[in-house]
């Protein structure tokens, strides 16, 4: 930014708008991304796919936004860890988040840390630890969103339409069947190596499936 203030007022509003427009143009030209563009009728173009691309190519994102590359890299690591679906090494994660928070405050002392970032960096490890052996990544909305197409198909072809109660009942029964633990157990599994594709620094903060199993067995003994 051409000014180092938490909020833009007066003439700074015009500077902020011009800088934002320039950054949006660079993202579109160099990465093919539409960032923070309003969609007619609903929301903006800021979605999960845009965010993943932004942090996956953090070098280019840092160059376009003029943000510190190492800071973006650390945020990319943290976001991969909490969304991986693997158990987390809580103490290592806590230290990494704390160091990231201190690094951010050191680089940008004039910018107030957003509440969502504060919650992630300062309280993220405690929240993950609260759920114990259950990885926080499996509590995301990703699975529910992925089943939207199943919901439409089941409702159209496998439910009774004469009564709304019966329609919802059939929907619920179908999803209970498809999510049955035994059926999930015999369903073909995907390779973790292909599924995760994590940054090496993120892997250091995770208990991969084999390590998590050993940790559970040790605790039980």
69-83 vs 58-65: helix crossing angle, rounded to 10? 140
* 191 found inside a domain: no
Looking at the structure, tell me whether residues 89 and 148 fall in a common domain.
Answer: no
What is residue 65's predicted lDDT score, i.e. its pLDDT? Answer: 92
What is residue 193's predicted lDDT score, i.e. its pLDDT? Answer: 44
Looking at the structure, tell me whether residues 131 and 175 fall in a common domain.
Answer: no
What is the bridge-based pairing of β-strands 206-207 and 87-88? antiparallel
Looking at the structure, tell me whether residues 58 and 82 fall in a common domain.
Answer: yes
* 3 found inside a domain: no
Task: Supply the pTM of this predicted model.
Answer: 0.74
Looking at the structure, tell me whether residues 48 and 17 fall in a common domain.
Answer: yes
Q: Are the C-beta atoms of 67 and 76 separated by less than 8 Å?
A: no
Length of the chain: 221
Looking at the structure, tell me whether residues 126 and 150 fall in a common domain.
Answer: no
Q: What is the pLDDT of residues 164-194, one digit of tens each?
A: 999 999 999 988 888 777 776 676 665 544 4
* 201 found inside a domain: no
* 59 found inside a domain: yes
Looking at the structure, tell me whether residues 78 and 135 fall in a common domain.
Answer: yes
164 — phi, psi (to 5°)? -65, -35
* 2 found inside a domain: no
Looking at the structure, tell me whether residues 85 and 174 fall in a common domain.
Answer: no
* 84 found inside a domain: yes
Nearest residue to 93 (alpha-carbon basis) of 48, 143, 135, 45: 135
Looking at the structure, tell me whether residues 127 and 157 fall in a common domain.
Answer: no
Determine the Cα–Cα distance for residues 207 and 217; give it in Å rounded to an integer. Answer: 14
Looking at the structure, tell me whether residues 93 and 159 fall in a common domain.
Answer: no
Looking at the structure, tell me whether residues 126 and 154 fall in a common domain.
Answer: no
* 91-96-100 Cα angle (round to 5): 150
Domain count, the chain: 2
Looking at the structure, tell me whether residues 73 and 112 fall in a common domain.
Answer: yes
* 20 found inside a domain: yes
**Residue 92 domain boundaries:** 11-139
Looking at the structure, tell me whether residues 111 and 169 fall in a common domain.
Answer: no
Q: Is the pLDDT of residue 1 over 70?
A: no
Q: Are the C-beta atoms of 103 and 74 separated by less than 8 Å?
A: yes
* 30 found inside a domain: yes
Q: What is the pLDDT of residues 44-80, one digit of tens each?
A: 888 888 998 999 999 999 999 999 999 999 999 999 9
- The domain boundary, picked from 81, 110, 139, lies at 139
| DSSP H helical ranges for the chain | 11-31, 48-56, 58-65, 69-83, 90-107, 115-130, 142-146, 148-157, 164-178, 181-186, 192-196, 200-203, 209-220
What is residue 24's predicted lDDT score, i.e. its pLDDT? Answer: 92
What is residue 36's predicted lDDT score, i.e. its pLDDT? Answer: 87
Nearest residue to 75 (alpha-carbon basis) of 85, 61, 89: 61
Q: What is the pLDDT of residues 12-53, one digit of tens each?
A: 888 888 888 999 999 999 999 999 888 877 788 888 889 989
> If pLDDT is split at 50, 70 and 90, which confidence band does 220 have?
very low
> If pLDDT is split at 50, 70 and 90, which confidence band does 211 have?
low
Backbone conformation region of residue 62, classed left if phi is above 0, alpha if psi is from -120 to 50, else beta: alpha
Q: What is the pLDDT of residues 78-123, one digit of tens each?
A: 999 998 878 889 999 999 999 999 999 999 999 999 999 999 999 9
């Amino acid at each position: 930014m051409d000014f180092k203030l938490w909020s833009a007022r007066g003439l700074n509003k015009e500077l902020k708008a011009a800088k934002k427009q320039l950054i949006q143009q660079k993202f579109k030209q160099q990465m093919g991304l539409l960032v923070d563009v309003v969609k007619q009728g609903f929301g903006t173009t800021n979605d999960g796919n845009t965010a993943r691309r932004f942090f996956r190519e953090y070098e280019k994102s840092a160059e376009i936004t003029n943000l510190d590359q190492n800071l973006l890299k650390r945020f990319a690591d943290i976001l991969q860890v909490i969304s991986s679906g693997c158990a987390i090494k809580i103490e290592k994660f806590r230290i990494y988040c704390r160091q990231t928070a201190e690094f951010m405050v050191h680089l940008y002392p004039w910018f107030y840390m957003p509440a969502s970032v504060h919650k992630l960096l300062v309280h993220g490890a405690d929240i993950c630890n609260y759920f114990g052996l259950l990885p926080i990544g499996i509590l995301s909305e990703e699975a529910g969103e992925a089943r939207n197409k199943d919901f439409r198909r089941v409702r159209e072809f496998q439910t009774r339409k004469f009564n709304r109660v019966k329609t919802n009942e059939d929907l619920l029964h179908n999803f209970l069947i498809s999510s049955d633990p035994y059926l999930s157990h015999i369903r073909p599994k995907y390779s973790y190596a292909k599924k995760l594709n994590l940054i090496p620094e993120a892997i250091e903060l995770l208990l991969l499936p084999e390590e998590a199993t050993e940790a559970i067995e040790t605790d039980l003994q």
